[in-house]
């Protein structure tokens, strides 16, 4: 009989060994802005897909081909929206990540001044 927890424990390090912990790419402002833009596109796409799922009436022409076309059209639309007329979600995420990166960079090297009032 095989020991399932032992097999799972042996497989766990192999499954997580491909995950990178390098966050140096976050330091680049261009990479942060690109990530914010992509986040906004994903969020807007989910919102648009949810709106399409709430069918308020039966469509005249309903088919899988039309659904596929609408999905592809929506993907192009949300990419264009994220680039040209953003909602602001991506910008807020970029600013948040930028602030947290600055704090992380400043924390290890900075030492807080000691207020010595015995003088």
pTM of the prediction?
0.56
Question: What is d(CA 64, CA 76) in angstroms, rounded to the nearest whole number?
Answer: 19
Query: By residue range, what is the domain housing residue 91?
Result: 25-106
How far is the first Cα of the chain from the last one, in angstroms, to the nearest whole number?
Answer: 74
- Are 77 and 11 contacting, i.e. CB atoms less than 8 angstroms apart? no
Q: What's the pLDDT at 119? A: 47
Question: What is d(CA 56, CA 79) in angstroms, rounded to the nearest whole number?
Answer: 26
Tell whether 33 is covered by a domain: yes
Question: What is d(CA 18, CA 41) in angstroms, rounded to the nearest whole number?
Answer: 27
Distances in whole angstroms, Cα of residue 7 to Cα of each of 12, 15, 17, 50, 96: 9, 12, 16, 41, 41
Tell whether 68 is covered by a domain: yes
Tell whether 38 is covered by a domain: yes
Count how many domains the chain has. Answer: 1
Query: 28: pLDDT confidence band, cut at 50, 70 and 90?
Result: confident
Tell whether 8 is covered by a domain: no
Tell whether 49 is covered by a domain: yes
97 burial (CB, 10 Å; 0-12 / 13-18 / 19+) is middle
Tell whether 62 is covered by a domain: yes
Tell whether 82 is covered by a domain: yes
Tell whether 2 is covered by a domain: no
> What tens digit of pLDDT does each residue of 43-86 get?
999 999 998 888 777 777 788 898 899 899 999 999 998 888 88
């Amino acid at each position: 009989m095989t020991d399932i927890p032992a097999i799972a424990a042996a497989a766990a390090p192999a499954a997580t060994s491909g995950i990178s912990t390098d966050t140096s790419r976050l330091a680049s402002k261009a990479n942060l802005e690109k990530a914010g833009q992509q986040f906004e596109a994903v969020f807007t796409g989910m919102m648009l897909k949810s709106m399409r799922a709430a069918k308020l009436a039966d469509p005249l022409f309903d088919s899988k081909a039309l659904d596929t076309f609408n999905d592809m059209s929506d993907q192009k639309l949300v990419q264009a929206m994220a680039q040209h007329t953003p909602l602001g979600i991506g910008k807020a995420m970029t600013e948040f990540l930028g602030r947290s990166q600055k704090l992380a960079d400043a924390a290890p090297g900075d030492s807080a001044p000691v207020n010595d009032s015995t003088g």
